[in-house]
Amino acid sequence: MNDTTTREIVTLQSHILAQQAKNPQSTGTLSWILSALSISAKVIADHVRRARLADVLGKAGAENVQGEEQQKLDVISNDVLMRVLGGREGVAIVASEENEEPVIIRSDTEGEQRYCVLFDPLDGSSNLDVCGSVGTIFSILRYDRRAASPEESLLQPGDVQVAAGYILYGPSTVFCLSMGEGVDMFVLDISVGAFLRVEQGLRIPTASKNYSVNEGNRLGFPEGYQRYLDWAQQNGYSSRYAGAMVADVHRTLLKGGVFMYPPTVKAPNGKLRLMYEANPMAMLIEQAGGKALAGRADDGSEQRILALQPKDIHERCPVVLGSPDEVDHVTRHL
Ligand code: AHM
Ligand code: MG
């Protein structure tokens, strides 16, 4: 057989159905939710591509729950995800960076397994004005009917995520997904209208001399991070920072290195949100063989992001993730 006949063409949809078929108890509910995310990604990618022409760049004139100004496309992307996910039977609660309160869609006390979907609809959106890459990040949790309230059901550690991923809107639209059995990567073929699988069981390089951090904040970092940067600069490291987590994590996943958003004097827990930025990225990085830490715990041990118990859906945490050896170089300076 030649290469054309041996190389399968697998869409995201068929990949998800094949995963579902591995589990005979599966009802297909999660597959429907992932398919909703795939549709949302195509719609958002189209908005992002046309942003300048459709005059939807710039601010929407409102502030989001973090007190940050929303971009028009933040609002549009949030709306797309809310509308598409809202229509899916299996969705119990949706929580977004752009909404202060989670949206409870179905909170019944019995019946089939339902899920909570948390997302940052358009991460790094300030990159849009300069045609830089942006992305959507999502995390899926089981809806816990035993929780005291539907909101309580959301506050689960990242270790129990059922699936997580991101969509990068760059020169091409890339969907990276983990359902707990490795990381797979898909690229949107716009002529076909489908995400096609380009990588299965992606592995992050063990080491690579790259660090990715906003060095403008350096003087506000705890001393350990500053010592690491001195060490990296004395040892021939390159600095790469897109200013959009999805773009920076995607590069780190493929090329190796370490991505960090440390605590700063102004933001003692860093800037990134645990539940819909750090947790999904940490799941992908760990599933690809990397490490994802929130620094060191009080007893000096490494604090895995996925082991943190969230207390608030919008809480923040420090982030150090990437190639295992590179994360170790950071932590030995902390
Ligand atoms: P956002 O969710 O408001 O877009 O903020 C998150 C973004 C990340 O994509 C990126 O890693 C970080 O903020 C950049 O922050 P800074 O400009 O402080 O370096
Ligand atoms: Mg955002």
Tally of CB atoms within 10 A around 53: 8
pTM: 0.94
Quick one: pLDDT at residue 313?
Answer: 94
Summarize the confidence of residues 123-150 as an average pLDDT. Answer: 91
**245 within ligand 1 shell (Cβ under 6 A):** yes
- Note the helical H segments in the chain: 3-6, 12-21, 29-49, 72-86, 150-154, 223-234, 245-255, 279-287, 324-331
Summarize the confidence of residues 48-60 as an average pLDDT. Answer: 77
**Quick check: 182 pLDDT over 90?**
yes
Average pLDDT score, the chain = 92
Tens digit of pLDDT for each residue in 216-251?
Answer: 999 999 999 999 999 999 999 999 999 999 999 999
**Quick check: 183 pLDDT over 60?**
yes
Tens digit of pLDDT for each residue in 257-284?
Answer: 999 999 999 999 999 999 999 999 999 9
Tally of CB atoms within 10 A around 111: 9
Q: Cβ(232)–Cβ(329) under 8 Å?
A: yes
| Residue 224 structure tokens | 């350990």
Quick one: pLDDT at residue 210?
Answer: 98
DSSP state of 283: H
In sequence order, what are the residues at sequence separation of 6 or more whose Cβ sits closer than 8 angstroms to the Cβ of residue 195?
Answer: 11, 12, 13, 38, 41, 173, 175, 186, 187, 188, 189
Specify the ligand 1 atom closest to the Cα of 68. Answer: 3
List, in order of start, the domains of the chain with CATH numbers.
12-199 (3.30.540.10), 210-331 (3.40.190.80)
For the chain, give the percent of residues with pLDDT over 70.
93
Give me the phi and psi of 285, to 5 degrees please.
Answer: -65, -45
CA distance 195 to 165: 14
**Quick check: 100 pLDDT over 80?**
yes
Quick one: pLDDT at residue 106?
Answer: 83
Q: Which of 119, 136, 261, 265 to mutate to test the pocket of ligand 1 (most atoms within 8 A of CB)?
A: 261
Atom 17 in ligand 1: residue holding the nearest Cα: 243
**Quick check: 4 pLDDT over 70?**
no
Quick one: pLDDT at residue 7?
Answer: 74
**214 within ligand 1 shell (Cβ under 6 A):** yes
Quick one: pLDDT at residue 148?
Answer: 82
Residue 17 corresponds to which amino acid? L
Tens digit of pLDDT for each residue in 74-96?
Answer: 999 999 999 999 999 899 999 99
Query: Which ligand lies nearest to the CA atom of residue 69 in the structure?
Result: 1
Residue ranges near ligand 2 (ion) with Cβ within 5 Å: 97, 120, 123
Tens digit of pLDDT for each residue in 18-45?
Answer: 988 888 788 899 999 999 999 999 999 9
Quick one: pLDDT at residue 295?
Answer: 94
Centre of ligand 2 to C-alpha 74, Å, is: 7
Quick one: pLDDT at residue 72?
Answer: 86
Centre of ligand 2 to C-alpha 186, Å, is: 22
Quick one: pLDDT at residue 1?
Answer: 46
CA 21-25-31 angle, to 5 degrees, is: 55
For the chain, give the percent of residues with pLDDT over 90.
79
Centre of ligand 2 to C-alpha 134, Å, is: 9
Confidence of residue 306 (pLDDT cuts 50, 70, 90): very high
Tens digit of pLDDT for each residue in 120-134?
Answer: 999 998 898 899 999
Token look-up 């994802």 returns 292
**124 within ligand 1 shell (Cβ under 6 A):** yes
Nearest to 168 by CA among 144, 209, 208, 198: 198
Least confident stretch, 105-114, 147-156, 255-264 = 105-114
Using DSSP's 3-state secondary structure scheme, residue 99 falls into: coil
| Residue 190 structure tokens | 């716009």
Summarize the confidence of residues 38-58 as an average pLDDT. Answer: 87
Nearest to 271 by CA among 155, 139, 123, 55: 123
**Quick check: 137 pLDDT over 50?**
yes
